[in-house]
Amino acid sequence: MRVLALIERLDEPCYRYRLEAFAWVMAERGLCLEAVPLQKALWPRIGQLLATRHADVVILQRKQLPRWQLLLLRSAAKRLIYDVDDALFQRDSYHAKGQESWSRRRCFAATVRAADLVIAGNDFLKDQAAAYVEAERVCVVPTCVEPSWYVPVEHQRVGAAARLVWIGQHSTLPSLQCAREHLAAVAEQVPGVELRVVSDSTPALPEVRVVPRRWSSKSEAAELAQGDIGINWLPDDTWSQGKCGLRVLQYMAAGLPVVANPVGMNCTMVVHGETGFLASTPQKWAEAVAQLAADPALRKRMGTAGRKLAAERFSVAAWGPRLAASIDPVARDIQHCRSGMAGRPASWSKTGPRWGERV
């Protein structure tokens, strides 16, 4: 069975960690994964959408298409799965217009209703999707890592020689800017500490010494291995509730203890006092980093615990069979209904995607 994924880019983290990593598990069930970046130009994209009729299952990842493009995709695709790992129904935390967006929410609702199955990255996103369709059409598969791809950090540096590390795309750099007060407190508590920023852009953070490291999919694991403490700060809002914690998972897979604020998936992934510290205030952040910087043995113990937790609860091995099993019934059902509206979700066949309905 051919499973076609419509994605943003081949090196996009959401594709690499939410689909590509599971390709071998799908293959074991006879599901052959193929990924195609969606074209931005109109006519090539139309051709891509029409070509989905040749696939058995289509996975639309994250993208919220204009209504007419969604209609075209739904008409062509035998089975449609929507994979969502962000609060795409609103603007992000730092948008000048604010977070709430009725147009995005309507588009999200229409996409969810058009899909035969929605795969959500966490329970919050599942609840958001389940507001528009039957609960059985939504399942949770968290973003996962494969710990074997990461070499555990050795943890030998002490005190100011210890390195903080942050990894992420330029679109998430504003979270570091919002954590400037926390970083200033850390720099005061641990003079000389450096922050290695693994990204495609370099932030201006005068409060702490920044060492920019160019991100690439090939070098990200090696860059994390050069750090000692992973940090993550999220604004306390609904956008952050939709985040699926890839950054923290990467720290854990690399054997790094994590210092983060208690928001969203941070609370699920960071076990306070065991795999790192959850700290809200700048002073608590400074105390947590200072304690870890002074104690390599503590860092190693927490890093080992985090790596074990990632392997048990957020790894490809733990979730791969569940993802494949979720897709498989959707694919197999094609053998029994290959024509007309039999291949559409009930809500679509009765009323269409309900474009004009307010949500």
> Residue 352 contacts by C-beta under 8 Å, 6 or more apart in sequence?
none
* Same domain, residue pair 97 and 123: yes
In this predicted structure, the answer to whether residue 308 has a pLDDT above a threshold of 60 is: yes
Question: Mean pLDDT lowest for which of 97-106, 118-127, 331-340, 349-358?
Answer: 349-358
Q: Which domain holds residue 229?
A: 147-313
Mean pLDDT, range 188-211, rounded to an integer: 94
Structure tokens at 255: 């054997």
The CA distances from residue 140 to 34, 120, 167, 322, in Å, are 22, 5, 25, 9
Report percent pLDDT > 70 for the chain.
Answer: 92
pTM for the full model? 0.90
Structure tokens at 137: 């059409």
Q: Is residue 10 part of a domain?
A: yes
3-state helix, strand, coil in the chain (%, to 5): 45, 15, 35
In this predicted structure, the answer to whether residue 54 has a pLDDT above a threshold of 90 is: yes
SS3 of residue 338 by DSSP: coil
* Same domain, residue pair 171 and 132: no
* Same domain, residue pair 134 and 176: no
Structure tokens at 303: 């890093």
* Same domain, residue pair 137 and 176: no
Chain centroid to CA 26: how far? 20
Question: Both ends of the chain: CA-CA distance in Å?
Answer: 36
Q: Is residue 16 part of a domain?
A: yes
Name residue 33's beta-bridge partners: 3
Residue 85 and residue 14 in contact, taking contact as beta carbons nearer than 8 Å: yes
In this predicted structure, the answer to whether residue 359 has a pLDDT above a threshold of 70 is: no
pLDDT digit string, tens, across residues 109-158: 999 999 999 999 999 999 999 999 999 999 999 999 999 999 999 999 99
Average pLDDT, the chain: 91
Question: What was the pLDDT predicted at 329?
Answer: 79
Question: What is the pLDDT confidence band of residue 328, given thresholds at 50, 70 and 90?
Answer: confident
* Same domain, residue pair 176 and 301: yes
Which 8-state DSSP code applies to residue 91? -
The total of structural domains in the chain comes to: 2
* Same domain, residue pair 183 and 108: no
Question: What was the pLDDT predicted at 330?
Answer: 78
**Rounded distance between C-alpha atoms, residue 216 and residue 221, angstroms:** 9
Question: What is the pLDDT confidence band of residue 332, given thresholds at 50, 70 and 90?
Answer: low
DSSP string, 2-71: EEEEEES-TT-HHHHHHTGGGHHHHHHTT-EEEEEEPPSSHHHHHHHHHHGGGSSEEEEES----HHHHH
Structure tokens at 65: 């298409």
Q: Is residue 356 part of a domain?
A: no
The CA distances from residue 197 to 106, 173, 216, in Å, are 36, 10, 12
Mean pLDDT, range 86-108, rounded to an integer: 94
Which H/E stretch holds residue 167? strand 163-167
Longest dimension (CA), the chain: 68
Residue 280 and residue 329 in contact, taking contact as beta carbons nearer than 8 Å: no
In this predicted structure, the answer to whether residue 353 has a pLDDT above a threshold of 70 is: no
Which H/E stretch holds residue 230? strand 229-232
- In this structure, the chain runs to a length of 359
In this predicted structure, the answer to whether residue 246 has a pLDDT above a threshold of 70 is: yes
* Same domain, residue pair 64 and 28: yes
- The CATH number of the domain holding residue 152 is 3.40.50.2000
